[in-house]
Amino acid sequence: MRVSGVIGIALITSLLFAGKGWPSGIDLHWLWDNQCADCHGHSGEFSRKFLKVNNGQLQGRHDTRNLAAFMRNHYASNIEVDAIYEMLLAQALTRPRFKQECSQCHDGAASFVRHSLVLQDEVLLSRQSGQPTREFMLQHRQLETSDVNFFMDLLNRVAREVYRP
């Protein structure tokens, strides 16, 4: 399927499911998985392995050109380039703790957010119970407050990437 066809299907699907807890924009993790992952693998692993952050800007390991400009001319030219760039920047700056500590039970962070959490009025809630995720996390696996803060920051960021306005 051509890129425009895939994006069209994603847009129609997002409109059909627009509403409480469903994305209204393109899910950046879905977009990466369907447009980039065949060549570049998982976005978090790619960003940590092949990109570096220099003065708040992403750079390829061996390339000092403007990465955002490169991305605009890459395979999926101009499809959510700024949003994908920001997602990769955040991932490059974030340790892979969710994968290391949580994925055995919860799969990847984006999948966990899609299937188990909703973002309502900027508050992350359990899709099943409606309980605020922070409240649950404070009781989960004897996590320290600093751990809860780390995971809540990560899950909130991923939720904003998945459930986009």
Average pLDDT value over all residues in the chain: 86
CA proximity to 52, closest of 43, 36, 69, 64? 64
- pLDDT digit string, tens, across residues 96-121: 999 999 999 999 999 999 999 999 99
Q: In the chain, where are the structural domains located?
A: 3-92, 97-162
8 A C-beta contact, residue 132 and residue 125: yes
Helix (H, G, I), strand (E, B) or coil at 130: coil
Confidence of residue 24 (pLDDT cuts 50, 70, 90): low
At position 61, the amino acid (one-letter code) is R
Name the strand (E) or helix (H) holding 131: none
Residue 10 has pLDDT above 60, yes or no: no
Say if residues 152 and 134 touch (Cβ distance below 8 Å): yes
